[in-house]
Amino acid sequence: MAKTRAEEIAERLQTGEDKQLDPRESILQNISKGTVIPVISSSFRIEQIFHELAEQGGPKAVEELITQWARFIKYPMSDRSNLARVAQYYFVDRNDDLSARTGIFSFLNKFLWTMADTEVKDPALAAGLRNGIEAMSFSDLVKTLDYPKFPDGTEDPLRLLARFPLRYFITTSQSDFVERALEAEGKTPRTQICFWSGEMANIRKEHRTITGKFNESITNPVVYHLYGLEDYPQTLVLSEDDYINFLISIAEDTNNLHPKIPLYLRKAVKGSQLVLIGFQPSDWDFRVLFRLMMKFRIDGFSPRGMLIQLEDRENQEAKEKAVEYLRQYFNKKSFDIEWNDSDSFIEELWNEWDALRQDRS
C-alpha cells in the first residue's frame, strides 16, 4: 500500500534526512521544533474583509480601498493606490496632527459600515453603530459586524494559522486581528508593540515591552506589532516619512539592554524560519520589514525563510521575468518562494500538519 504524504514526511523527519526536505516539508519540521514565525501583512485580513471589492483581473481590495481614501481626502496625484504616498500627503495637509494618524482607520470604519449597514437587522444595534462608529476601533467594528464573511464550509485562514503550536507571531497590521484569532482558538496572546517613536506614558500594562523573563508558549504566544497598533497613534508606520524615520530610529538605537526591537524577538527571528504571508515585494511595508528581518538573521545559520507570493497572471512575458528576478533575489537572501495565494497556502499547510500530527498520535 502506498504511503500517505504525512507518512513520507514523518519517516524522513525520523531519519533526519533534512537535506531532502522541500521548503514546505522544512516548515513542517520546524513547526514540530517550535521554530517557525509567521510574519503577517496588514493587507492579509483587509483583503478577506473587503474581498468583494476585488474584481477578477483588476486591483486587489486593498488597492481599491486606498484609491477610494485618496479620492475622499482629495489626493491630487495619480498614484492613488500607494498608501505610503497618500498618507504622506494627508499628514502634510493636516499638519501631521495626531488625529490625522488614525484617519485611514476612520475611513475604513465608515466604508465598512456603509457596505454592511443593510445586513444589520437589529435596529438598536444599527442605531448604536451609526452613532458610535467614530469612537470604535476598526477591529472592534469588524468583530461586531462579524467580518470577514467566508463561504459555508470554508475555515478562516487566520484561525487555522492560530491553531499551529507556535510561540511568536509578527504582524505589520495595526489592528489586533491576530490576537482575536488566537483567543478564538483558546489561547492567551501577549500583545507587544514597537515603540519606535519613543515610549509613552499611557501604555497599558499588558502592552509594555517585555524586558524581563517571560514564559511564552504555544498557549501564551507573543504577537508583535512591528508597525504599531491603532490604540497608540504615535506608533503607526504609514507614510513615507514614517518608514524612513522608523528605519533611522532602529538603526540609531544604541540601547543594548532594552533596544526598541527587544532582545527576545531578535533571538527568535535569528533562530526561526520566517514565513512571510500576504506581502507585495514592491510595497514599503515589505521592503522595510524585509531589510529589518535580514539585520537579525545570520547567513548560513538562520533557517531559510519562505515568502508566499501570488503570481501575476497578466502580461506573460513580464510575469516570467519578474518571477525569475524574485526567485534569484530571494534565493540569495536564503528565502524560498511559494507561488500560491495566502489563504490556500495556510489551508494546505494546516491539512498537512494535521495529518502528520494524527499519524504521530
**Tens of pLDDT, residues 279-298:** 998 899 999 999 999 999 87
Residues 67 and 213 in one domain: no
Residues 19 and 70 in one domain: no
**What pLDDT, on a 0 to 100 scale, did the predictor assign at position 315?**
55
- 113 within some domain: yes
Least confident piece of the model among 262-266, 295-299, 320-324: 320-324
Residues 68 and 35 in one domain: no
- 232 within some domain: yes
Residues 160 and 294 in one domain: yes
The DSSP-derived string for 9-62 is HHHHHHHT-GGG--HHHHHHHHHHHT-EEEEE-THHHHHHHTGGGPPTTS--HH
Residues 31 and 53 in one domain: no
- 68 within some domain: yes
Is the pLDDT at 316 greater than 70, yes or no? no
Residues 315 and 332 in one domain: yes
Residues 218 and 132 in one domain: no
Residues 20 and 53 in one domain: no
Residue 345 has a CB neighbour count (10 Å cut-off) of 23
**What pLDDT, on a 0 to 100 scale, did the predictor assign at position 12?**
64
Residues 178 and 92 in one domain: no
Q: What are phi and psi of 151, to 5 degrees?
A: -60, 150
The region, left, alpha or beta by phi > 0 then psi within -120 to 50, assigned to residue 360 is: alpha
Instruction: Encode pLDDT of 233-252 as tens digits.
Output: 999 999 999 999 999 999 99
User: What is the average pLDDT score of the chain?
Assistant: 88
Is the pLDDT at 183 greater than 50, yes or no? yes
| CA distance linking residue 40 with residue 275, whole number of Å | 8
Share of the chain above pLDDT 90, in %: 62
Among candidate residues 77, 111, 144, the one where a domain is terminated: 144
- 276 within some domain: yes
Residues 37 and 53 in one domain: no
Residues 184 and 311 in one domain: yes
Cell of 186: 483558546
- 149 within some domain: no
- 244 within some domain: yes
- 72 within some domain: yes
Among candidate residues 84, 116, 144, the one where a domain is terminated: 144
- Segment 305-333 shows an average pLDDT of 78
- Segment 136-158 shows an average pLDDT of 93
Domain span at residue 24 reads: 5-43+154-360
Sheet containing strand 190-193, strands side by side:
190-193, 222-225, 168-171, 36-40, 273-277, 305-309, 335-339
Is the pLDDT at 123 greater than 90, yes or no? no
Under the banding of pLDDT at 50, 70 and 90, the label for residue 201 is: confident
Under the banding of pLDDT at 50, 70 and 90, the label for residue 357 is: confident
Q: What is the pTM of this model?
A: 0.90
Residues 261 and 217 in one domain: yes
Is the pLDDT at 319 greater than 80, yes or no? no
- 173 within some domain: yes
Least confident piece of the model among 68-77, 122-131, 312-321, 329-338: 312-321
Helix (H, G, I), strand (E, B) or coil at 143: helix
Among candidate residues 144, 169, 188, the one where a domain is terminated: 144
| CA distance linking residue 176 with residue 170, whole number of Å | 11
| CA distance linking residue 221 with residue 286, whole number of Å | 23
Report the number of distinct structural domains present in the chain: 2
